[in-house]
Chain A
Amino acid sequence: MNFDEETYLTAYIDGELTPGQRVRVESALASDSRFADDLRALSAVRDLVSGLSRPAAPSDVADAVVARIDRRRLAGPLGLGWVVSSSSWGARAAALLSAAATLVAVSTLGIFGALQHVPAARTPPIEVSQGDRPPTQSPTSRDTIDEVSNPGVRLVAVDDPNALAPGPEEHQRDLQNQRVRKWLDSPSLRKLFIVTDAIGGADRKVGEIIRQSPRRHSTFGRITVTQGIVIDPDQPGRVVVFALVMDDRELKDLHETLNASFPDSLEQTSPRPEFLTQLGDVGQMAVHSGTTVADLISPETRERERASRSRAGRDHVAKARLLPEIPGFGPIHPRGLDLEVEEPITQQDGPTPEQMRSGPHPSLRAVPDPAAPPADARPSRPQASVVLVMVTTKPRRGTGPP
């Protein structure tokens, strides 16, 4: 037998041979006693190893693992306090420790790059509860209203004793958060506006501008990097970054509005990849809804559409929405836009059944996913891209792009 055939002895012991191979081995065993001796020895080895004792694990393994998980969840990726995701309501109890732990962690843990030993924000970790439904818990003294977002958005302190387990809405918000975070990885993200806030309140104002800027994709994310975390050495201190999707025309309008509001403190540049990576990791994400093009439709037009669709009797459609032409905007068809949140569309909006059967209405223009190549090669279709608007409290120290 050559070595490869000798390995058949091992496989023979383990019952891993084909019938033909087994016959060959048994023939060799019968004809040469050395193979039989080898077989016995290899079998003995098998039994010796399989007979090794199996001690039980230490009794504290599970507790130690859970404790480490809880510590990591509280500490976050940079060893500082961070907001638990809106879906992890179960971790709120553990997050009660984060306020105290954060102060200790910040002062004792090492620095990741530009991290500074700055006490963490004094406000306790908070979550954003977004939604149109009224809060089910009674407000605490720490509840505040986010003036930037929709009136339905509340900031809920994690020590709210009436915090409830996550439901479908929480899960949906978590999905939205994840989707917005993915924008940070989009290759179309090349634009960063920086607003230097010298007197305070600029983040609120910028948020309002963004919310009121009509655009095809109204969802936007607000990423807050708490004081004590520095992800850009040129921008120390607390920053707020808004992430949104716009086409060139919408972007131009936004730029003009920002320039008018912050004439001496607006800068335009390209974000560094490492900046985006850290932002995605450490920022506290909140997803909001702004003004869509649909919001600009007159009530009469909307009523005409509703009547038209109610005749068709269809109340659940795909993502397409038929809107009249609006100068400078046009109708919306968010086909293939991964950024859009899936939700049933009522009879108040959506194409007619005929339109659904025949495909997108000719007047519909697809808004391509910024992270994907456009489905059609229509040169007239505006390309959407991800845009960031950062509000910082200190002027940039460096020159040139970050």
Chain B
Amino acid sequence: MPGFIDDQCLIDACRSGKTEAYGTLVRRYQDRLYPTVLRLTGCAEDAQDLLQETFLRAYEKLGNFQGESSFYTWVYRIGVNLALSGRRRRRPSSRLGGGREGGPNDQVTDPGETDPSLPMERAERDRAIQEALDGLAADHRAVVVMKEFDGLRYEQIGQILGVPVGTVRSRLHRARCELRERLRGLVDEEAPARHVSPEIP
């Protein structure tokens, strides 16, 4: 790919003080990371802040990056851990799903906040699912997002969260069971037409 500079070259440039190289790295991965932090925080504004903070934290720690994983995996870990550390205070009135803490006068967020290109029905569905996610405990929500949304393996999730695979499995099961209750209507729509085939590792 003509003109393409690999991540390591950009990282080396960053370490030499060329911050514009870091801008290239951010542009390369921001769209990949943003949906994850959006689903973890449930709030577009918080997600945007968290996204910036993640990349800033990664820049600060760039000297520690050893290249044992890909740069994106490394940044992903930082983002997830930041989201879980509760650094972002949830804003119930602006949460994508409305949120449990929201009061009666809190308006559902502008559908465009999720994805302006979505049809209304799809946007409403997303909002309902996000609201259910928001109702989960933070560590359960993280496991669900990392597994369902990002497709990580249990072992990868365990490494990022620092928990055993068994814990990942149990948290995920609990989270799915809770979401099943919260999203009963949508689940019933989905479930009848389904033939379950287990994923092939």
Contact = CB atoms under 8 A, between A and B. Distances in A.
B179 A15 contact: no
B190 A47 contact: yes
A39 to B, nearest CB: 5
Interface in A72-91: 73, 84, 87-91
B173 A7 contact: yes
Contact of B126 (A44, A52, A68, A69): A52
Contacts of A10: 169, 172-173, 176
B180 A41 contact: yes
Contact of A16 (B18, B59, B191, B201): B201
Interface residues of B, number: 62
Nearest to A170: B16
Interface in A2-38: 3-4, 6-7, 9-17, 22, 36-37
A65 interface: yes
B190 A44 contact: yes
Contact of A40 (B27, B177, B196): B196
A166 B18 CA distance: 11
A316 interface: no
B172 A63 contact: no
Contacts of B118: 53
Contacts of B52: 61, 64-65, 68
Interface in B116-137: 118, 122-123, 126, 129-130, 133
Contact of A89 (B17, B19, B126, B144): B17
Contact of A45 (B19, B30, B170, B187): B187
A56 B59 CA distance: 21
B149 A50 contact: yes
A49 B198 CA distance: 17
Contacts of A70: 19
Contacts of A66: 19-20, 22-23, 26
A199 interface: no
B148 A65 contact: no
Contacts of A90: 13, 16-19
B101 interface: no
Contacts of B19: 66, 69-70, 73, 90-91, 94
Contacts of A11: 154, 169, 173
Interface string B138-174: 0000001101110101100000000001000110110
B71 interface: no
B48 interface: yes
24 contacts: A11-B173, A13-B196, A14-B154, A14-B172, A16-B169, A40-B191, A43-B194, A44-B190, A45-B179, A45-B187, A50-B151, A52-B129, A55-B114, A56-B31, A57-B30, A57-B34, A57-B51, A61-B51, A62-B23, A65-B52, A68-B56, A69-B56, A91-B17, A91-B19
